[in-house]
Chains A and B, each alone.
Chain A
Amino acid sequence: MDSRERVLAAVRSAIHEAGEPVVTRNHDTTLAGDPDLVELFVERVDDYRAEVHVIDEADLTLRIGEVLGAHKVNSLVVPADLDGAWLKTTHARLVHDSEEVTAADLEGIDAVVTGSAVAIALTGTIILDGGELQGRRLITLVPDLHVCVVRVDDIVGSVPEAVRRLNPTRPLTWISGPSATSDIELNRVEGVHGPRTLVVLVVR
């Protein structure tokens, strides 16, 4: 008998009298009341000490340029499909994501600009799924600054609403503020391995 058969046989013999436990799902799937999702999302992202701005679509290019300038960004990586129009106001050296770009290449890059798939207001979470305007996972991981554009239509209220929008076959990254650790005397320190600075631009 191979290990698979041995484990499965042991499981079967352990549960033969386990019965049929009933699954009860009475938790909320949406937010109570009718909160302003944009306002709540912004408040919650801010709680993680991320930088967050609500802007108009027309100002997006300008505001990206301002953020990159304010953070003194000299080099920038973006997903292959990111609209060149977003980047008209920056003079940073530009790298487009492709399979040839390695983590070592990204090590010298100051920032990354991406879009996002879904955002959760209640928890201030942004979810990337490698889809439109998001690129491969490593480009949002190695550079020290992540500028992430969130469209108000992609903001949902609760965790269940977000999970139901996701496609599990895609590689998913949930981001709630900049990377952090509480490993030293339980003091929260922002910025260990991921981008130490997260800037969220919420586009109306």
Chain B
Amino acid sequence: MTVGLQPQPGVKFLGMPPFPEAARTALGDEQLRRNLGHATSTIRTKRLNAVSELADWEELRISGASIKDHTLAHLDDYLEQFAAAATAAGATVHWAADAEEACAIGVAIARQHQVDEVVKVKSMATQEIELNEALEAAGIDAWETDLAELIVQLGGDTPSHFLVPAIHRNRHEIAEIFTRRMGEVGRAAPDDLTADPARLAEAARLHLREKFLRAKVAFSGANFAVAETGTLVVVESEGNGRMCLTLPEVLVSVVGIEKIVPRFEDLEVFMQLLPRSSTAERMNPYTTMWTGVTPGDGPQEVHIILLDNGRTRALADRVGRQALRCIRCSACLNVCPVYERVGGHAYGSVYPGPIGAILNPLLHGVADEHDAALPFASSLCGACYEACPVAIDIPTVLIDQRAEAVREKASHVGPDPERVAMKAAAWVLDSPKRLRFAERIAIRLRGLIARIRWLPGMPGGWTRSRAVPPIPEQSFRDWWAQRASAEREREEPDGQP
């Protein structure tokens, strides 16, 4: 039985097909594979350099993992402590059990201030709850201000990586999107815009500057929320975060309940783990930490929406709860051989890659075919576990979620061919006598089996990408018995010479 609040299963990112089908399409896109291959190999090398500079990296990982585990085991106390501290510092704290509640709170705050647009700092939590869509439905434009998010938003596209959401676009595609779309929603791109990354960044600076200066209300997420002080932390590179967190009058931050760390001092661990794992830098260009309202400096009305939306479901899973340690660095995406080839869209979620393959089923359950397919989107090579700065054992959770998916299917699907085959195999393997009998039959038919190139029906899925293994002349047990009797004969000189 699962405990906790659960969002509706089957809530899909973009109505995409399940992973195997989406992956097949993605693999056919050569431009995408080129962009991804270049980007992930660059960042992998950089990350290794950034990590190898710290002699105590393994100790930091253990500190990070154990602080998070401790926090999760006492999450009720720490959430209450956080809410009390933030409230005392002048913030208004809201609680949201699911996406719908969180969006309703956000929309109500924006409406109260009678704005028709808001600016946003890149945030996974607001994407997860589809806040932009909710604001849009209320007639409020939500402008993404992170360069990559801007590219995605203007391109009418969806993010494919958490750190570099437009990793699937190259510079020429970006220049084309800016030229075509910027003028429709604000300051147009310069007429002589080229695909030079510096020129593209300049175009974004000018386009967004007027929005920053005009905006009354901003939305953000948070990388960390400190229980003892009520402090929120946003880690970023471009300065769009500082703009959103400093200039508007009203700031609304949507914070997943797993973002809590107990003490301000704990940030000494995460402010080392996160930048080196994500952008592979010693430190990211800008980090903002704020505690409630500072009179005269920054937003004078500060809201915090604490979001569950499936996190307590994941928390109830003994094996899977470690996924809530995740600090969204994306190191696991960059080292994953599956992600590198299919990209983020195939996962059909704002959380792609290895962490997405466990987080989505943990948040929503595996009743939906999209979520049920994700634990299988892995070769179980373990590179993600090694790269993870908070040591999430993703392969173990994947296997556990696979079992969950199989159980879920069995609970409401009648006997299907796969289950019948597995049952039959279990029956044969259960008895030495039956196994020997099956082996003898297989050996007798080995000439015939060797000629099989494809199988019809369901087993055809297997032969499409694999050769049927050759059947040996002899079973292991026959060989062993023969070898043992030959040895006995050598040891007994009385026998045959």
Which residues of A are in contact with B by a Cβ distance under 8 Å?
2-4, 6-8, 10-15, 17-29, 32, 44, 47-48, 99, 103-104, 107, 120, 122-125, 130, 136-138, 141, 159-160, 162-164, 166, 168-187, 189, 191-195
Contact = CB atoms under 8 A, between A and B. Distances in A.
B73 A19 contact: yes
Most buried by A among B35, B63, B165, B272: B272
Contact of A28 (B56, B96, B242): B56
A13 B3 contact: yes
Given A7-B306, A13-B3, A183-B165, 6 more contacts: A8-B80, A11-B315, A103-B212, A172-B287, A173-B288, A175-B286
Interface string B281-319: 111111111110010111000000010100011011010
Contacts of A181: 147-148, 201, 237-238
Most buried by A among B4, B174, B321: B4
A164 to B, nearest CB: 7
Contacts of B76: 8, 11-12, 15
Contact of A173 (B242, B291, B318): B242
A103 B247 contact: yes
A27 B60 contact: yes
Contacts of B285: 48, 175-180, 194
Interface in B45-77: 55-56, 59-60, 62-63, 66-67, 69-70, 72-76
8 contacts: A3-B97, A11-B257, A13-B3, A171-B291, A173-B242, A175-B285, A182-B164, A186-B43
A168 B25 CA distance: 49
B296 A136 contact: yes
A25 B79 contact: no
Nearest to A28: B56
Interface of B: 3-5, 35, 38-39, 42-43, 55-56, 59-60, 62-63, 66-67, 69-70, 72-76, 79-80, 83, 89, 94-97, 101, 145-148, 151, 164-167, 170-171, 174, 197-198, 200-201, 204-205, 208-209, 212-213, 226, 229, 231, 237-240, 242-243, 246-247, 257, 264-265, 267-269, 271-272, 279, 281-291, 294, 296-298, 306, 308, 312-313, 315-316, 318, 321
A20 B73 contact: yes
Most buried by B among A3, A44, A164: A3
B277 to A, nearest CB: 14
B282 A163 contact: no
Contact of A11 (B59, B75, B151): B75
A66 B250 CA distance: 39
Contacts of B257: 7, 11
A185 to B, nearest CB: 6
B268 A182 contact: no
B3 A184 contact: no
A192 B147 contact: yes
B3 A14 contact: yes
Given A4-B95, A14-B312, A185 B239 contact: no
Given A26-B63, A171-B294, A184-B171, A7 B272 contact: no
Top-7 shortest CB links A-B: A194-B239, A193-B239, A14-B316, A10-B312, A21-B69, A160-B268, A183-B148
Nearest to B214: A104
A113 B148 CA distance: 31
A177 B240 CA distance: 15
